[in-house]
Amino acid sequence: MPIEPAVLATYLVACAVMVVVPGPDTAFVLGQTLARGRRAGWAATCGIYAGASVHITLAALGVSTAVAASPVLFEAVRLVGATYLLWLGVLALCAAFRRDRSALTAAPPARRAFVQGMLTNLLNPKVTMFFVAFLPQFVDPARGPVWLQMMLLGPLLPLLSVPFFAAVIVGADRVAARVSAGPGVRWLHGATGAIFVGLAARLALAR
């Protein structure tokens, strides 16, 4: 069941565009790294990959198509995602105004960043629509089982995001190391909160 080189090349270009366009996933990795360091950034990245794996599996099974075809379900996912991003933003803003500085610099368990990263990805309608509306265009039923082709093509998106997220984590970690001393840590949490609140507003108002 080989995939035509031209089709694969086009799909890889589309994945690359999807990766570099800023969205909740990038913002979450950036925010976690700025506020908590490189370890939290990588934990968030792993959570995002786990969420993408769920998206790919649901798309291959046809579940995501049913969600996208139902305006009520899709709107519910979008609004829940916006609410979740707003909650993360409020938490970060509250942390920025917290008097206890030790609480600001304390690193939470990596599993928290992992779970939050996974939820951020699962509740991102843009990712859902990519696997539901875009991925099937590169699937040819004549070449074999549709679900198998989707399971083979789907992981290429998170795979291409590895170097991009690595660059985001390294860059954010360097910035955080320079400004985390003194009151700078509050600015990091404040910036993280502002990013999430902005993304929540954009997602809530998007149509």
* Cβ atoms within 10 Å, residue 170: 13
pLDDT band at 166 (very low <50, low <70, confident <90, very high): very high
Is residue 106 in a domain? yes
> Which range marks the domain in which residue 46 is found?
28-205
Radius of gyration of the CA atoms of the chain, in A? 18
List, in order, residues 6 or more apart from 197 with CB less than 8 Å away. Answer: 85, 86, 89, 90, 93
Is residue 1 in a domain? no
Paired tokens of 40? 């939290």
Is residue 142 in a domain? yes
Q: How many separate domains does the chain show?
A: 1
Is residue 121 in a domain? yes
Per residue in 64-102, pLDDT (tens digit) is: 666 666 677 777 777 888 888 888 888 878 877 765 544
Looking at the predicted structure, is the pLDDT value of residue 1 above 60?
A: no
Is residue 21 in a domain? no
Rounded percentage of the chain residues whose pLDDT exceeds 70: 85
Looking at the predicted structure, is the pLDDT value of residue 22 above 60?
A: yes
Nearest to 117, CA basis, from 51, 54, 164: 51
List, in order, residues 6 or more apart from 157 with CB less than 8 Å away. Answer: 15, 18, 19, 52, 130
The pTM score is 0.80
What pLDDT does 201 receive? 83
Is residue 16 in a domain? no
